[in-house]
Amino acid sequence: MVRITHRAGWILVDPWTIIKNGYVRVCNGLIEEVGQGHSNGDHVIDHGPGAIMPALVNAHTHLELCALNGRVAFDNGFRPWVRQLINLRDSEKTENLLTDAKQGINEMIETGTRVVGEISSLGITKDILENSGMSGIWFKEYLGNNSLATTQCNEKKGGFTTSLAAHAPHTTAPEFLINLKNAAQKNNLPFSIHVAESEDEIRFLSTGKGEWADFLTERGIDFSVWGLPVESPVKYLDGLGLLDKKTIAVHLIHADKDDFEILARYNVCACLCLRSNYYLHQRLPDLTGMLAAGLKPCLGTDSLACVDSLNMFDEMAFITNAFPLVPPSKILAMATINGAKALGVADRFGTLDPGKRDRFIYVPINVRDKPSLLETIVNNEKQT
Ligand SMILES: [Zn+2]
């Protein structure tokens, strides 16, 4: 068996465990040992003075929208953006969507991401991800009230496991939300849902009225049995029994302290996509409040229809600028171990502990001490 020792100026085992002048020894695709100085290995690769760190985890993206990069206008508001996005996506040939999705995968790999939570409503990105060398969860996303939808999941292939996602509380009927969550739960798999993202969603759930209510009525959808109004989307999902540690609540822009406390009580995984929130809604979630409530958020880039890269270093740099008081170690945890936990793959990814997969990256930086190492990593856009 070939053992390879990877040496570097710094080994970032996890955001709180950093070894100066260290090594990671791997064997058979697994990390066997991390340590300081030199290991007695046969093959040694010296990467240089920078840092070996865990590969990044993008817990929320939509690869099938890569082809829409730069083509959907933001300035008219969120609802026109969604309408334009769906029209453009549906008018594109599947093969074009896939060509750009493959480029998106390449971008993620080149910028240090190896684990991904992909949300697919068309269902077209499964094969390309299974053949990408990355790992993670491929979520089939549903909305509406599709009682005939197949809620099959837990198919494992090429590093990916299939699971289920619901689009959002205001776009998906409550009984369907419950079916999807139950199917994921039965297989002990994560379930993903966008929560408290838009003003339409808040207005509809908290009043049972407004343009979204009219939109549903026009389409013959009877929401009189949905139990509205409710105080907040989080409380609504709580009432439906959808909250637990395997639920990933994405966005939470309009969630407050009460909501965070409920989410923390159930150990729900919050997933933040701050660049997307900023571009689409000109508003950011209350990350400080989430951390104070004890939540351990993970990060996603969301799609190229609303951000200009799938680079998780860009996402970390954006958060660092937006929330300068949040410690770099917490931001790095969001992009690594918290994402791995949210996707249920922390036994294999997210840190460089022995026994995990050898999915690490080398960041070519030159720093003097541990604090500046962390600061440089979370502050570096376009880092690879
Ligand atoms: Zn999304």
Nearest CA-CA partner of 152 in 124, 125, 123: 123
The answer as to whether 41 is a domain residue is yes
Ligand 1 centre from 359 Cα, in Å? 25
Helix axes 78-91, 199-207, angle to 10 degrees: 110
Q: What is the pLDDT of residue 383?
A: 46
Ligand 1 centre from 179 Cα, in Å? 20
> How many CB atoms sit inside 10 A of residue 362's CB?
16
12, 113: one domain:
no
303, 363: one domain:
no
How many domains does the chain divide into?
Answer: 2
Q: Kindly provide the residue ranges of all beta strands, DSSP E only, lying in the chain, ordered along the sequence.
A: 3-14, 17-27, 30-36, 43-46, 51-54, 56-61, 113-120, 135-142, 156-157, 160-166, 191-195, 247-251, 269-272, 298-299, 360-363
Average pLDDT of the segment spanning 68-83: 81
Q: What is the pLDDT of residue 144?
A: 87
11, 74: one domain:
no
pLDDT at 373 over 80: yes
Nearest CA-CA partner of 221 in 171, 178, 177: 171
> How many CB atoms sit inside 10 A of residue 188's CB?
10
Average pLDDT of the segment spanning 145-165: 89
Bridge partners of 213, per DSSP, are none
Which has the higher per-residue pLDDT, 79 or 256?
Answer: 256
Ligand 1 centre from 197 Cα, in Å? 10
Q: What is the pLDDT of residue 113?
A: 98
Ligand 1 centre from 262 Cα, in Å? 22
Ligand 1 centre from 167 Cα, in Å? 8
Ligand 1 centre from 33 Cα, in Å? 37
243, 125: one domain:
yes
Bridge partners of 87, per DSSP, are none
172, 315: one domain:
yes
Looking at 238-242, 354-358, 377-381, which range is the least confident one?
A: 377-381
Ligand 1 centre from 61 Cα, in Å? 6
Domain limits for position 36: 3-53+352-379
The answer as to whether 85 is a domain residue is yes
Helix, strand, coil proportions of the chain in percent (round to 5)? 35, 25, 40
Looking at 91-100, 163-172, 217-226, 285-294, which range is the least confident one?
A: 217-226
Please state, rounded to an integer, the average pLDDT across all residues of the chain: 94
Ligand 1 centre from 60 Cα, in Å? 6
Ligand 1 centre from 251 Cα, in Å? 8
Average pLDDT of the segment spanning 165-170: 96
Ligand 1 centre from 302 Cα, in Å? 5
133, 67: one domain:
yes
pLDDT at 48 over 60: yes
68, 190: one domain:
yes
pLDDT at 182 over 90: yes
Strands 30-36, 17-27: pairing kind:
antiparallel
Q: What is the pLDDT of residue 65?
A: 94
Residues 6+ apart with CB under 8 A from 201: 168, 169, 170, 212, 233, 254
373, 327: one domain:
no
Q: What is the pLDDT of residue 384?
A: 44
Bridge partners of 121, per DSSP, are none
Using left for φ > 0, alpha for ψ between -120 and 50, and beta otherwise, residue 282 falls in left
The answer as to whether 301 is a domain residue is yes
The answer as to whether 244 is a domain residue is yes
179, 217: one domain:
yes
pTM: 0.96
pLDDT at 197 over 60: yes
The 3-state DSSP class for residue 274 equals helix
Bridge partners of 49, per DSSP, are none
Q: What is the pLDDT of residue 83?
A: 82
The answer as to whether 347 is a domain residue is no
154, 107: one domain:
yes
pLDDT at 355 over 60: yes
Structure tokens belonging to residue 277: 């929130």
Residue type for position 211:
E
Q: How far apart are CA 180 and CA 167, in angstroms?
A: 11
CATH of the domain at 9: 2.30.40.10
Q: How does pLDDT run across 257-316, given as a tens digit for each residue?
A: 999 999 999 999 999 999 999 999 999 999 999 999 999 999 999 999 999 999 999 999
pLDDT at 77 over 80: no
CATH of the domain at 269: 3.20.20.140
pLDDT at 149 over 80: no
Ligand 1 centre from 118 Cα, in Å? 9
The answer as to whether 384 is a domain residue is no
Q: How does pLDDT run across 210-231, given as a tens digit for each residue?
A: 988 988 888 888 899 899 999 9
282, 258: one domain:
yes
pLDDT class for 41, splitting at 50, 70, 90?
low
Q: How far apart are CA 63 and CA 104, in angstroms?
A: 7
What own/partner pairs with CB < 8 Å and gap ≥ 24 does 362-368 have? 362/6, 362/8, 362/47, 362/48, 362/50, 362/51, 362/52, 363/50, 363/51, 363/52, 363/53, 363/112, 364/48, 364/50, 365/49, 365/50, 365/51, 366/9, 366/49, 366/50, 367/10
